[in-house]
Amino acid sequence: MSTQSATQLISINPATGQEVGRVAVTTPEALDAVVVQAWDAYRHSGWKERLPHQRADVLRTIADRLAAEKETLAVLQMRDNGKPLSECRGMVDYAVGAFRYYASACETLETSVTPPRGQYVSFTVLEPFGVVAAITPWNSPIMNDATKVAPALAAGNAVILKPSEDAPLLAPELVRIAAEAGLPAGLLQVVQGRGAEVGAALVAHNGVRMVSFTGGTATGQAIGRVAADRVIPVALELGGKSPHIVFDDADQELAVAAVISGIFGSAGQSCVAGSRVFIQASIYDAVLERITEQARTIRVAAPDAPDLEMGPLASFAHRERVEAFVERAREEGGRILCGGARPEGAAFAEGAYYLPTVIDGLAPHALTCQEEAFGPVLVALPFDDEADLIAQANDTAFGLACGIWTESFKRAWRVGRAIEAGSVWINTYKQSVTSTPFGGFKSSGIGREKGLDGLRLYGEVKSLFFGL
């Protein structure tokens, strides 16, 4: 997390309250200069004219260098946003994989040809946009940055990366590593500052031709409005209130473990957190008791403690938001089965810690069941049958992800197809690979990142017709 002044962002470690580092806020004049330099690099560096395998060489070198600096980057991210070190290591691995995947995917950008049709032959190519903006949130900076930067560069663009003001330290490292790997100067630059100022100015800038955004739904809507006025494309990866479903024929041990890690991993600060658990009525009490029991025994500790299961929240301000969320759940009539408070003890005094929290007894329409907490807060809801479940699970504005636990393939297929979500995990949860598209239905977003869809996001389709 960071504290902010007009000219500086100061990153504060949420586990200790200590300063980690600081970066200068990009002024409006500096933003203009960044955009000019990005266009210059796009037009004159020869990057987009390189053969795919030549761009791929640089992307692979970036991957190698990220891998070589894995530990330093993971520790920096842990201090910048408080995520457990083991998760931060996984995110660096993910970033490495993203650069490797899009190095290979470059090759798919070949021209496609429609064979001669009487008087013409046509060729279809993907043209880069030129300069694209990548705007990312604080929860997984190195992973989210790589998910945008790697395909945007692979497609031939120049990229201006705007990390969150609450986790500003990883993006400059990625820019440095890319430069050391041989990426031409100006093709990847970073701007820093508050979203409402520097982020908004970037989206509104005439020199930016496409915006790829990951963050909250309200911010995505604001960006979408500006993009609509400017008639530029946007890709939006937004929030979620993902249902995690346990049917009466599920392997309960595996299901309960997945429900626990699905919401309390990353202290719930994950867009795909399974924040609503739907349990079939006949097994509701028994499964909820197991979930509550396990949630109570989760080991909350410092992000670099060797055996921790959950670290602090990313900032003290964010903990206050989560506390207000749980307070409102109480007012709505929710029963707090565990958590609902800060952990006690000297070890937690300096950090933004909060206990794993399980709530039940709420109506599906309660705001607690509808809005994203983005924290370690699980709401439990019973359901009678498939029809009841599907109606309840789909009855939110969001549609990012879903988990289904059942031994019946047919039921998994039926429910998996009926759920309005971009990712459906059956007898597993939170799996993610760069080669598989990811994104949301409804208010969870527009467009798909990852996979080849995630590459095609970063170009305009052009068809050229030759008369014969």
Please give the residue ranges that form the binding site for ligand NAD (CB under 6 A).
Answer: 135-139, 162-165, 195-196, 199-200, 203, 214-216, 219, 222-223, 237-240, 271, 372, 374, 400, 440, 445
Catalytic residue among 165, 173, 237, 309: 237
Least distance (Å) between residue 41 CB and ligand NAD: 22
User: Sheet holding 445-446: strands in order across?
Assistant: 188-190, 158-162, 131-135, 210-214, 234-237, 445-446
Comparing CB distances to ligand NAD, the nearer of 382 and 445 is 445
The neighbouring-strand residues paired with 213 are: 135, 236
Please confirm, yes or no, whether 19 is among the known catalytic residues.
no
Which token pair is 135?
């705007």
Give me the half-sphere count of Cα atoms (radius 13 Å) on the Cβ side of residue 94: 23
Least distance (Å) between residue 344 CB and ligand NAD: 28
Comparing CB distances to ligand NAD, the nearer of 139 and 189 is 139
* Residue 197 three-state SS: helix
Residue 66 CA to residue 92 CA, distance in Å, equals 7
Least distance (Å) between residue 338 CB and ligand NAD: 24
430: left (phi over 0), alpha (psi -120 to 50) or beta: left
Residue 21 CA to residue 28 CA, distance in Å, equals 23
Query: Phi/psi at 298 (nearest 5 deg)?
Result: -60, 135
The counts of H helices and E strands in the chain are 15, 19
Least distance (Å) between residue 144 CB and ligand NAD: 6
Residue 44 CA to residue 47 CA, distance in Å, equals 8
Comparing CB distances to ligand NAD, the nearer of 9 and 279 is 9
Which token pair is 452?
């080849």
Residue number with the shortest CB distance to ligand NAD? 195
Q: Do 105 and 455 meet the contact criterion of CB atoms below 8 Å apart?
A: yes
Least distance (Å) between residue 258 CB and ligand NAD: 19
Comparing CB distances to ligand NAD, the nearer of 4 and 122 is 4
Q: Do 234 and 210 meet the contact criterion of CB atoms below 8 Å apart?
A: yes
Comparing CB distances to ligand NAD, the nearer of 34 and 389 is 34
CB atoms within 10 A of CB 227: 19
* Residue 383 three-state SS: strand
* Residue 12 three-state SS: strand
Helix axes 85-105, 70-81, angle to 10 degrees: 120
One-letter amino acid at 2 equals S
One-letter amino acid at 323 equals E
Degrees (nearest 5) of the Cα angle 244, 301, 356?
30
Q: Do 266 and 94 meet the contact criterion of CB atoms below 8 Å apart?
A: no
Least distance (Å) between residue 145 CB and ligand NAD: 10
Comparing CB distances to ligand NAD, the nearer of 121 and 200 is 200
Shortest CA distance to 129 belongs to which of 155, 162, 160, 102? 155
- Helix or strand run (H / E) with residue 37: helix 28-44
Comparing CB distances to ligand NAD, the nearer of 196 and 461 is 196
Q: Do 177 and 190 meet the contact criterion of CB atoms below 8 Å apart?
A: no
Give me the half-sphere count of Cα atoms (radius 13 Å) on the Cβ side of residue 163: 35
Give catalytic residue positions: 237
